[in-house]
Chains A and B, each alone.
Chain A
Amino acid sequence: AQTVTQSQPEMSVQEAETVTLSCTYDTSESDYYLFWYKQPPSRQMILVIRQEAYKQQNATENRFSVNFQKAAKSFSLKISDSQLGDAAMYFCAYRSGHTGKLIFGQGTTLQVKP
C-alpha cells in the first residue's frame, strides 16, 4: 500500500522569506502523480502544484516549486517570497496511476509572520 508522510506538523516563516515543506512517500508503482494542496482556515482546498512521476523536471507555479527526488521518494514544496495569504495547512498527496485514488499526508500547518 502507498503511504505519504509529512514529518513537519507545523512550520513558520517570515513574510518575504522562503520556506520548504517536506514530504516523503512510499510506493512500488512506477506510474503515479504527486500533488500539493493548500487548505486555508475555513476555506476550501485548492491545488497548488502537480508533478508527474515520469517527468524529471521539477514543476513550478509562480512562487511555488517542488524538489522531486524520485529515487529518494521525496517531494518537497518550496514557497518563495512568502505572503500572509500563504498561511494554511498544506497537504502532500499521491495519486496512483493504477487506481486513481488520492492518498493524503497528515498535513503541515504553515504560519506566516508579518
Chain B
Amino acid sequence: DAMVIQNPRYQVTQFGKPVTLSCSQTLNHNVMYWYQQKSSQAPKLLFHYYDKDFNNEADTPDNFQSRRPNTSFCFLDIRSPGLGDAAMYLCATSRGGLAGTDTQYFGPGTRLTVL
C-alpha cells in the first residue's frame, strides 16, 4: 500500500561528494515536492514540480537541484553537500489544483548525514 516511497531511508555522504535522493509515487499525482527538515523544526519547502514545470523557492540554495523524468519519479540532487545540509529530506505529492481536497501526502523521508 506504499504510496510515496523514498530511497534510501538513510544516506551517508562525504563533505562535497554529490548525492542523489529518490522519491517515487503510486498515486499518479501531478505535483511532487521536496522539503528539508532539520531536527525538531518545521519542514522547509525547497521546490516542487507541477507535472514537468519546475518551481524553485526563492531561498533554495543553488546547491540543490531536482529532476522529474516521469510522473512517478522525482530526484533531489545535492551537488556539493556541506555539513549544514545534514537533515531529513521529505518528498510529498498532491493531486494538484487549489481545491481543499488537494492534500499533500508525505513519504517516510531520507535522513542525510554529511561527514
Chain A residues in the interface with B (C-beta under 8 A): 31, 33, 35, 37, 43-47, 50, 52, 89, 91, 95, 97-98, 100-102, 104-107, 109
Contacts and interface: CB of A to CB of B under 8 A. Distances in A.
B45 A46 contact: no
Interface residues of B, number: 19
B29 to A, nearest CB: 13
12 contacts: A37-B106, A44-B106, A45-B90, A45-B106, A46-B106, A47-B103, A97-B100, A100-B98, A101-B45, A105-B42, A106-B42, A107-B40
Interface string B20-44: 0000000000000000000011110
B73 interface: no
A50 B43 CA distance: 18
Interface of B: 4, 40-43, 45, 90, 94, 97-98, 100, 102-109
A104 B43 contact: yes
A35 to B, nearest CB: 7
